[in-house]
Amino acid sequence: MNRFRVLQFNMQFGQIWDDTYPDRAPIRLETTLAEIKRHDADIILLQEVEQAMPGGVQFQPPPNYTRLKAELAGYDSWFSYPKADPRELPFGIGLAIFSRTPLRDAMRLVLPSPPIEFDFFGKKTTPTDRLLIGAKTTVHGREVQLLNTHLLAFFMLGASSTTNPFQRELVAEQIRAAKGPTILTGDFNVRHHESLVGQFASLGFATVQQTEITWRRRPYVLDHIFHNAPLRCVGHEVRPTPASDHHQLIADFEFAD
């Protein structure tokens, strides 16, 4: 059987969910690890691995990624911070890919953010740049391209990625150039996700689901696993978890030919 499982998860740097005071909930990375392990995925793609520090400080080695890497000992992995920026807000940053099969040809692409001014607790600021990472692996003898991203939440700034499409277009360029089986996952932060789904469908990429909400804070479908025609999704699940403000998205794939 040529089936394999993919887990997409914005882990919110290990901060658990609290219905009453979500922004004050504790960080419990052991809960994150337990939730990741329970799905026994072959490929794990994570966003918001680390918590942004004041002044744009980025700890080396990244503490959460280092622990994940130690606990997920049977996986090869690739992690990247976005470029350091003193404007970084105290939320989640950093992307990771874990794979049971060796990774190669790791890449990262900076996704610039527009200079949209917004207020954060009385201080005027502008958003930092975002990131896309990728790598290749071989699954059941077939090469698979893996891409993972986390786009700017324009809706939090009173704007839209439809009228500010540059980040989406850079991601679209990557999948347009894809050769062979390719998976693109991430927290796309698109409130009206139909426009995103339609854009990527025009490039031959389907999302495994677009009806179940994936974010606890608002009823939006922000998280996706996209794939192209050489791969067939044979099952998927949106799994609510206490380990984040995002739900986990799991999909099982097999090769279409």
Q: Which tens digits make up the pLDDT trace of 74-95?
A: 999 999 999 999 999 999 999 9
**Confidence at 188, pLDDT banded by 50, 70, 90:** very high
pLDDT at 253: 98
CA distance 14 to 33: 9
Q: Which residue has the tokens 């940053």?
A: 93
**Confidence at 257, pLDDT banded by 50, 70, 90:** confident
Instruction: Tell me the average pLDDT across 217-240.
Output: 98
User: Quick check: 231 pLDDT over 90?
Assistant: yes
Q: What percent of the chain has pLDDT over 90?
A: 98
Q: Write down the mean pLDDT value for the chain.
A: 97
User: Quick check: 72 pLDDT over 80?
Assistant: yes
pLDDT at 133: 98
- Annotated domain spans of the chain: 4-255
By the 10 Å C-beta count (0-12 exposed, 13-18 middle, 19+ buried), 253 is classed as: buried
pLDDT at 2: 87
Q: Which residue has the tokens 């992995």?
A: 77
Does 3.40.50.970 match the CATH number of domain 4-255? no
For residue 23, give every residue at least 6 positions away whose Cβ sits within 8 Å of its Cβ, in sequence order, or none.
none
CB 189 within 8 A of CB 161: yes
The runs of H, that is alpha helices, within the chain are 29-37, 63-71, 166-176, 193-201
